[in-house]
């Protein structure tokens, strides 16, 4: 009987340098961060009462991103097969996207246009963009703009105005990082006693959406900003409330919007409100994210009604 002998082959271990390990860890972490950015977490919907109370369906709920250099909600915008999260700005119009945000676009340029906003100046290429999906609204073609140059760095993937939500019902819940969107207006059940009538919303060019509230028991025309961390007050209104217009910040004792009351609302004094948001009646107050983050905002665009709870 022959003895079988096993021959063991000693393989040299692969040497891993510190640089290689660092690069590997960096790639793994970058991949995880990218995946998290692309797919925000949706909380357990059964624990969020307003979804059932307002009669939204599960398919009406979408994630919202709130991180970024500019504060504010970001919603999904898909162009072709690629999705990015674009900043929802209630005080802008149209869709503006960064030149490098989407790898492949079917875009037919029409003309170049200069855009001015505050201290910023941008050169935009406007034209027709194909195969666009915003939340669950699909468009074969929309008119959009691509940023070709910006005086200050355009750090967003894109910025989208609210007119794409018109004729529908939209709810923004920043606390839970979600929004709801439904084209079936009649099925959405909002409490009638708390609804606010929006002023002159019938014109889609009339941005921002304006409504009346009370600041320290004084009736005031106001609007909403989804990009300002703090609420904004004009020097004129500040003078009326405090007797002085030379302050950088001011704390409002009470902000009342229908039956919703906010106490000690900190505001930045902004001398450009009336200029940036032209209205026949002067606009002296913008509700910022410091209020929206404590609230549930719903706008029925078709019926020109708003609910803040």
Summarize pLDDT for 191-227 with one digit per residue, the tens: 887 888 887 655 544 566 789 999 999 999 899 999 8
Residues 293 and 161 in one domain: no
- CATH number, position 210: 2.40.70.10
Q: What's the chain's average pLDDT? A: 83
Q: Long-range contacts for 204-209 (Cβ within 8 Å, ≥24 apart)?
A: 204/163, 204/166, 205/93, 207/90, 207/91, 207/92, 207/93, 207/161, 207/162, 207/163, 208/90, 208/91, 208/277, 208/283, 208/286, 209/90, 209/162, 209/299, 209/306
Q: State how many domains the chain has.
A: 2
Write down the pLDDT at residue 193: 79
Residue 30: pLDDT over 70: no
Name the domain boundary from 186, 205, 236: 186
Q: How much helix, strand and coil, in percent to the nearest 5, is found in the chain?
A: 20, 40, 40
Q: Is residue 6 part of a domain?
A: no
Name the domain boundary from 138, 153, 186: 186
Residues 102 and 143 in one domain: yes
Residues 151 and 272 in one domain: no
pTM: 0.81
Q: How confident is the model at residue 20 (pLDDT cuts 50, 70, 90)?
A: low
Residues 130 and 176 in one domain: yes
**Residues of the domain holding 271:** 190-308
Percent of the chain with pLDDT over 90: 50
Q: Cα Rg for the chain, rounded, in angstroms?
A: 25
Cα 142 to Cα 31: distance, rounded to the nearest angstrom: 32
Write down the pLDDT at residue 18: 56
Q: How confident is the model at residue 150 (pLDDT cuts 50, 70, 90)?
A: confident
Residues 83 and 169 in one domain: yes
Write down the pLDDT at residue 6: 39
Summarize pLDDT for 242-285 with one digit per residue, the tens: 888 788 999 999 999 988 999 999 999 998 886 666 556 778 89
Summarize pLDDT for 221-232 with one digit per residue, the tens: 899 999 899 999
Q: Is residue 149 part of a domain?
A: yes
């Amino acid at each position: 009987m022959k003895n079988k002998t096993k021959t063991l082959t000693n393989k040299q271990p692969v040497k891993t340098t510190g640089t290689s390990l660092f690069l590997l860890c960096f790639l793994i972490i970058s991949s995880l961060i990218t995946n998290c950015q692309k797919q925000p977490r949706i909380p357990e919907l059964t624990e969020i009462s307003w979804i059932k109370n307002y009669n939204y369906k599960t398919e009406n709920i979408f994630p919202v991103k709130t991180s970024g250099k500019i504060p504010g909600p970001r919603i999904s915008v898909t162009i072709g097969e690629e999705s990015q999260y674009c900043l929802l700005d209630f005080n802008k119009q149209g869709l503006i996207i960064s030149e490098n945000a989407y790898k492949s676009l079917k875009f037919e340029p029409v003309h170049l246009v200069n855009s001015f906003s505050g201290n910023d100046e941008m050169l935009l290429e406007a034209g027709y963009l194909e195969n666009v999906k915003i939340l669950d609204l699909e468009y074969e073609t929309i008119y959009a703009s691509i940023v070709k140059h910006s005086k200050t760095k355009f750090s967003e993937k894109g910025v989208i105005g609210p007119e794409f939500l018109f004729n529908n019902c939209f709810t923004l819940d920043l606390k839970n990082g979600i929004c709801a969107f439904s084209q079936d207006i009649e099925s959405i059940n909002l409490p009638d006693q708390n609804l606010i009538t929006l002023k002159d919303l019938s014109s889609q060019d009339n941005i921002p959406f304006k409504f009346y509230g009370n600041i320290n028991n004084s009736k005031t025309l106001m609007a909403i900003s989804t990009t300002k961390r703090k609420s904004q007050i004009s020097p004129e209104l500040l003078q009326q409330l405090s007797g002085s217009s030379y302050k950088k910040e001011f704390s409002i004792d009470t902000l009342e919007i229908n039956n919703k009351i906010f106490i000690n609302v900190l505001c930045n004094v902004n001398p450009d409100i009336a200029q940036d948001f032209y209205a026949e009646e002067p606009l002296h107050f913008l509700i910022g994210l410091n209020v929206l983050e404590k609230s549930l905002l719903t706008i029925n665009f078709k019926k020109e009604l708003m609910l803040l709870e």
